[in-house]
A = this chain, B = another copy of it.
Amino acid sequence: METFAEKLDRITNKKRSFLCVGLDPDPKRMPISDLLEFNKSIVDSTIDLVAAYKPNLAFYEALGLKGLDELRRTIDYIRTLSSEVLIIGDGKRGDIGHTSEAYAKALFSEWQFDAATVNAYAGLDSIDPFLSYKDKGVFIWCRSSNPGAVELQDLKIANGEQEKPLYEYMASHYYRYNLNGNMGLVVGATYGDEIKIVRTACPDVPFLLPGVGAQKGDMEEALRSGIDQYGRGLLINSSRSIIYASSGLDFAEEARIQALDFNKTIDFNLGLLGKEWSHI
């Protein structure tokens, strides 16, 4: 059976794209008020260019049951168009085992996401119910890209002789339990250092990188630090810079232009690293 990591690599190679588009509908920023139409337009104009879509559950929950119903319709719509794109439920869920079982059922059986982001603060038994869905990806929230990330995630753990930051400890800790090839890590970074550290600790799990800026320098650094030895094993998320590329009615066309530009930047940098899509 194909593992989730293999599936991710198959799709990224086939689409020649690491791009994950965050579907985060914000009524204050959407150029049209109809959430479902907004999502469908973005999907229509980008689906051939992306490896994954990542609806952030918070934005749908903030719109009540109607918002969640439109999430359901968005997922259904993507599925009717293609099976060659991952849909990642970004909810950072996690609780003690009994409750995590219910969350895993919600995300994987009810919503039928291909993968989910999870919060692993409560130890292995809190994420095991997710990992036991062998064909589903489980991206552990390891290092975030916000200013507050340093407050806890970067704390030095006194671990025998060697001190290491909490996020690195977390990555190494859980890495041992990737028995089904379906573990991934969410790793944000400012200058790529954190990504590099986690990649060293976990050489062969897929990374989901959020918060990579529009600047090409950021992208190059993130890519260089995040790829595995084959130049793969990555999804790079972009939300607002793509879905809100234009505040006018040309938002879908502009989203496509941004997605093309994003992929072109990645292609160029993969070339610099000798890891072109064609080399595999």
Q: What residues of chain A have their CB less than 8 Å away from a CB belonging to chain B? A: 24, 26, 56, 58-59, 61-65, 68-69, 72, 92-97, 99-100, 102-103, 105-106, 109-110, 119-126, 141, 144-153, 155-159, 163, 166, 169-170, 173, 211
User: What residues of B have a CB within 8 angstroms of the CB of A155 in the complex?
Assistant: 157, 159, 166, 169
Contact (Cβ within 8 A) B152 A99: no
A–B Cβ pairs within 8 angstroms, 18 of them: A26-B102, A58-B100, A59-B102, A61-B103, A62-B109, A64-B110, A94-B119, A96-B144, A96-B146, A96-B148, A119-B121, A121-B141, A121-B153, A122-B152, A125-B147, A152-B166, A156-B157, A156-B158
CB A99 to nearest CB in B, in angstroms, measures: 5
Measured between beta carbons, the chain B residues less than 8 angstroms from A119 are 92, 94, 119, 121
Q: How far is the CB of A77 from chain B (nearest CB, A)?
A: 16
Which of B103, B120, B126, B152 lies in contact with A123, CB distance below 8 A? B152
Instruction: Given A144-B96, A146-B126, A151-B173, verify A62-B110 contact (CB < 8 Å).
Output: yes
Contact B152 A58 (CB under 8 A): no
Question: Whose C-beta in chain B lies nearest to the C-beta of A63?
Answer: B110
| Complex partner residue of A58 from B62, B106, B120, B169, CB under 8 angstroms | B106
How long is the Cα–Cα vector from A159 to B158 in the complex, in angstroms? Answer: 9
How distant is the Cα of A44 from the Cα of B106 in the complex, in angstroms?
Answer: 28
A173 CB contacts on chain B under 8 angstroms = 151-152
**Residue from the list B97, B120, B149, B157 in contact with A158, Cβ < 8 A:** B157
The reply to whether A58 and B95 form a contact with Cβ atoms under 8 Å apart is yes
CB within 8 A of A61: which of B97, B106, B147?
B106
